[in-house]
Amino acid sequence: MQNISQKHAIKNKNEIAKIKKSLSITEDIFAVCIKHLKTGVEEIKIHDLIIKEMKKRKITHIAFDPIVAFGKNTSHIHHTPTKNKLKSGDIVMLDFGATYQGYCADMTRTFLYKANNKEKEKIVLRTRIAKDLVLKALHKGERNTKKLDKIARDYIYKYYSQKSFPHSLGHGVGTHIHEWPSISPREDTKLLPGMVVTIEPGIYLESKYGSRDEDMILIKKNSIEVLNKASFPLYIQ
């Protein structure tokens, strides 16, 4: 018998439409943020911009306090924005989500600001590759949470230590930002049609920098739908 959290994990068409709307709003605000990423801007200023843009769109609740991190602060999974200023060569991490009619979005993107740096480029690209490998497996029909997590983890551990990826690969999203199921080494369950989950591999190098890339996925009977529609560049000039 399913418990309440398991029953709630299966979304109906109306709930899915609200989640899609919240994510669309989130992506619009991401585009605004990118235009404001200029040398010298503070993390907290971009954080405040996100809140302002939410209010402009009549979003009265945000899914969680926005994460804005520049440079070495990207090595912190849940960084609290500070007056740290953006400089050429920094990695930039943005993680936030709108809430539309009670339903949450959750999205993370990591960018490289201006100066080309091969090592930093590798960590961002490898995070994206880890995500793409999981999406490929989902498209092929893999639905086991533990196996999906292992796909990303096995790829990341080819290049970085096990400490570099300390969180789950993903989680359910709905009226709460974190819902059942967890896509992790500890959860051995099956994703079912109607579930909306995140896929968000991350790589964090202590005191150096980090990267996380997160999409929202709708599980269907014989396929999946990546709900994210906007594309963003690797480098912000």
DSSP code of residue 62: B
Domains of the chain, earliest start first: 4-236 (3.90.230.10)
In order, the DSSP letters of 148-201 are HHHHHHHHHTTTS-GGG--S-SEEE-SSSSSEEEEESTT---B--TT-EEEE--
**H or E segment and range at residue 45:** helix 43-56
Grouping H, G, I as helix, E, B as strand and the rest as coil, residue 139 is helix
User: What pLDDT does residue 120 have?
Assistant: 96
Q: Classify residue 56 as exposed, middle or buried by CB count within 10 Å of its CB (0-12, 13-18, 19+).
A: exposed
Read off the tokens for 32: 């605004």
Q: Are 105 and 99 in contact (CB under 8 A)?
A: yes
Mean pLDDT for back-to-back runs of 10 residues, the chain (237 residues): 69 98 98 97 98 95 95 97 97 98 97 92 97 98 98 98 97 96 96 98 97 98 96 92
185 cis-preceded (ω within 30 degrees of 0)? no
User: What pLDDT does residue 224 have?
Assistant: 98
